[in-house]
Amino acid sequence: MEKIYTMELAGRTLKVTTGKVGKQANGCAFMQYGDTTVMCTVTASAKPRDGIDFFPLSVEYEEKFYAAGKFPGGFNKREGKPSENAILTSRVIDRPMRPLFPKDYRNDVTIDDIVMSVDTNCRPELVAMIGSSIAVSISDIPFAGPCAMTQVGMVDGELVINPTQEQWNKGQMRLTVASVGQKVIMIEAGCNEIPEDTMIEAIYKAHAVNLQIIEFINGIVAEIGKPKHSYTSCAVPEELFAAIKETVPPEEMEKAVFTDEKQVREQNIRDITERLGEKFADNEEWLAILDEAIYQYEKKTVRKMILKDRKRPDGRDIKQIRPLSAEIDLIPRVHGSAMFTRGQTQICDVITLAPLSEMQRVDGLDAFAPNKRYVHQYNFPSYSVGETRVSRGPGRREIGHGALAERALLPVLPSEEEFPYSIRAVSETFESNGSTSMASTCASCMSLMAAGVPIKKMVAGISCGLVTGDTDDDFVVLTDIQGLEDFFGDMDFKVTGTKDGITAIQMDIKIHGLTEAIVRQAISQCREARFFIMDECMSKAISEPRKEVSKYAPKIVSINIDPEKIGDVVGQRGKTINEIIARTGTKIDIDEDGRVSVCGEDIDGIQKAIDMINIIVTEFEKGQIFKGKVVSIKEFGAFIEFAPGKEGMVHISKIADRRIDRVEDVLSLGDEVTVVCLGKDRMGRISFSMKDVAQR
């Protein structure tokens, strides 16, 4: 039966239709916010998937080009693999919803959000986020929601709830906050050096709106929500835990995990697993879940050590950062390189500079989406964690980590006018044991400076973890979490920024929300840690950008011309500009505003191209001196090409300071000559004189 529900949200109407479409899905919400329309569905398998130790949730955010009245790019006029924006949106929806499903639930669940219409005043990502929560909440799938999401922008210093696409792109803040119950469950941000206090204000302004949305969703659930279905629990039996503890007492497990060497710890756990495997060799049921049981036992041990004893597995203090090191220029011939090491996490970042024409073209639904001049890519090979697997290209995790580091550094990059280059940063993970995305931020900042990119300020990043007890006041926030503390802890709270403010945040958790006290403490500890990293490590490797780009990088010089003269520089069918390129060995890009970027290996060739362009766009005045080449000889004079596609004539009477009968007596084709402009003749052609040059 069709039902329609509405609420006013940030000055616009949010409309939810149920019971009309998607009736065979477990839950469906047909969402409209303004004219933005997203169909949100959720389905679950009837039985758990065999042989897995995780919850198999898939979130698919699908961008349909018809939603914006566009044809897909490329030869195959059909949507293909998801765009980077679609992948990142799927991750943002996944992170707050995943913790709200039962921990022992192993049924496959797929959330599918199809963007069917886009109104640039109402961002489709936001609509999909809310619709996903509604679809799951009204379904029969076990879920401890609803959760809600709100976005916050900043325009002219004012916080804006659910900004338009243009406000989102051009504002100083891009903040997404998810809430469940009375707590914040997810934060994602990219911003222009926002102070910590302002960020907290924005987070809780969004949280207040989320509480209104949750109340709205609860009303829908109360009216049409389905009873939650029963499921087969995959929890480890308590009898197995008891049997494991008889063989491996808690003190022995604590000793096994209490080391700062990841490989030693893993070997200790392998030894324990082998012993227990031998003990339970006759119990096939227990053997099938032994690995999960040991994992849970190890997790409980680590959490107890941290929460009750304030004791971290590697012996560090709660706020202590692992040993740091940094170096630059370790890779020869590239345009810039740096390596950042924090404990057993090590990232090598390499910078490549190119003309602005090489920037990444963005093909998506966002009508305001700029082409990407700065691209940060992150790679995570299996050897970095001591494993072996075939590389299949970047997955969602790699794309997400690269996007986070990219957001972190965007606010400090120079403008195109200040630095007319496209920039590609590639972070190679050499070793991983906790927060490689934050190490990527640090390494990328240093490699940008080493490459001579005049970034405005130094940026660093760090991640904080969390272990919670039975009450809201019982918690420990850990600075610089390693892999074990990430796996067994409750939170991964990443913050990047300069000394003047935050540039990016990514927070995801495994519990049902954070109190404000935890959020404030995590942001405070991250600030303290990133200052320490900048002062004690990064600035000792390189403290400011180099004054010049690498000798291996292309040289680029930009000038501005009158946009009405662009056609003169390009010439008919590109003849003029191609001739300049051929003569000077450069690459030339001209934008619609008249900014000309000349790129080349040889600075002399660049200057020659600029001189030619300047000649072409200059209004010719009497008395100007030019150098040119004889390209045509007639009885009455010679034509001199003084720039590609630009010619003037020297009358025979103006060639020499004596009378000559034939032009050929003085000039030959190809001769290089110096001439002075006499103005234009009656036919509008430029007239030159050779004999009057000496008088100038």
Confidence of residue 241 (pLDDT cuts 50, 70, 90): confident
pLDDT of residue 482 exceeding 70? yes
How many Å apart are CA 655 and CA 234, to the nearest integer? 98
Q: What is the mean pLDDT of residues 638-667?
A: 86
Please give the structure tokens belonging to residue 553. 């990088």
- Would residue 616 be called left, alpha or beta, if left means φ above 0 and alpha means ψ between -120 and 50 degrees? alpha
Q: What is the mean pLDDT of residues 94-102?
A: 96
Please give the structure tokens belonging to residue 237. 């039996």
CATH of domain 238-309: 1.10.10
Instruction: Note the pLDDT of residue 682.
Output: 74
pLDDT of residue 1 exceeding 90? no
The residue with tokens 């946009």 is 563
The answer to whether the CB of 196 falls within 8 A of the CB of 501 is yes
Strands of 183-194's sheet in order across: 158-161, 147-155, 173-180, 183-194, 502-509, 491-497, 460-468, 475-479
Q: Which range is most confident: 15-19, 297-301, 653-657?
A: 15-19
The fold of 555-616 is Ribosomal Protein S8; Chain: A, domain 1 (3.30.1370)
The answer to whether the CB of 148 falls within 8 A of the CB of 133 is yes
Percent of the chain residues past pLDDT 90, beyond the cut:
59
Q: What are the start-end ranges of the H helices in 385-498?
A: 396-409, 436-450, 483-488
- By DSSP bridging, strand 422-431 and strand 345-354 are antiparallel
Instruction: Note the pLDDT of residue 283.
Output: 85
pLDDT of residue 556 exceeding 70? yes
Top-confidence residue, 543 or 657: 543
Please give the structure tokens belonging to residue 467. 């272990």
pLDDT of residue 619 exceeding 80? no
Average pLDDT over the chain, rounded to an integer: 91
Confidence of residue 366 (pLDDT cuts 50, 70, 90): low
Q: What is the mean pLDDT of residues 227-245?
A: 90
Question: What does pTM read for this prediction?
Answer: 0.87
pLDDT of residue 24 exceeding 80? yes
pLDDT of residue 368 exceeding 60? no
- Alpha-carbon distance values, 623 to 209, 566, 615, 631, 639 (Å): 70, 25, 14, 22, 18
Residue 247 makes CB contacts below 8 A (sequence gap 6+) with 275, 276, 279
Instruction: Note the pLDDT of residue 622.
Output: 79
DSSP 8-state symbol, 664: G
pLDDT of residue 122 exceeding 90? yes
Please give the structure tokens belonging to residue 401. 């980590």
Please give the structure tokens belonging to residue 183. 């707590």
Instruction: Note the pLDDT of residue 498.
Output: 97
DSSP three-state, residue 307: helix
Superfamily designation of domain 625-695: Nucleic acid-binding proteins (2.40.50.140)
- Alpha-carbon distance values, 605 to 418, 579, 599 (Å): 21, 13, 9
SS (H, E, C) 342-375: ECCEEEEEEEEEECHHHCECCCCCCCCCCCECEE
Q: What are the start-end ranges of the H helices in 104-178?
A: 124-138, 165-170
Instruction: Note the pLDDT of residue 427.
Output: 97
User: Among 380-384, 556-560, 632-636, 680-684, which stretch is predicted with the lowest mean pLDDT?
Assistant: 680-684
pLDDT in tens, 129-185: 999 999 999 999 999 989 999 999 999 999 999 999 889 988 999 999 999 999 999
pLDDT of residue 232 exceeding 70? yes
- Alpha-carbon distance values, 673 to 196, 620, 621, 627, 666 (Å): 66, 18, 19, 6, 11
| Helices 84-97 + 396-409 axis angle, to 10 | 100
Instruction: Note the pLDDT of residue 265.
Output: 86
The answer to whether the CB of 425 falls within 8 A of the CB of 351 is yes
Instruction: Note the pLDDT of residue 163.
Output: 95
Confidence of residue 408 (pLDDT cuts 50, 70, 90): very high
Q: Which range is most confident: 271-285, 311-325, 362-376?
A: 311-325
Q: Cis peptide leading into 82, omega within 30 of 0?
A: no
The answer to whether the CB of 121 falls within 8 A of the CB of 12 is yes
How many Å apart are CA 303 and CA 489, to the nearest integer? 7
Confidence of residue 437 (pLDDT cuts 50, 70, 90): very high
CATH of domain 324-500+515-541: 3.30.230.70
Residue 5 makes CB contacts below 8 A (sequence gap 6+) with 15, 16, 18, 216, 219, 220
Q: What is the mean pLDDT of residues 352-373?
A: 78
Top-confidence residue, 220 or 389: 220
Instruction: Note the pLDDT of residue 695.
Output: 61
Instruction: Note the pLDDT of residue 154.
Output: 96
Instruction: Note the pLDDT of residue 450.
Output: 97
The answer to whether the CB of 375 falls within 8 A of the CB of 360 is yes
Instruction: Note the pLDDT of residue 696.
Output: 52
Residue 273 makes CB contacts below 8 A (sequence gap 6+) with 290, 291, 294
* E-only strand ranges, 396-551: 422-431, 460-468, 475-479, 491-497, 502-509
Domain ranges of the chain: 3-148+210-224, 238-309, 324-500+515-541, 555-616, 625-695
Q: What is the mean pLDDT of residues 472-483?
A: 93
Asked if domains 3-148+210-224 and 324-500+515-541 share a fold, the reply is yes
Q: Exposed e or buried b for every residue in 521-555, given b needs 16+ CB within 10 A? A: bbbebbbebbebbbeebbeebbeebbeebbeebbb
Domain 3-148+210-224 class, CATH top level = alpha beta
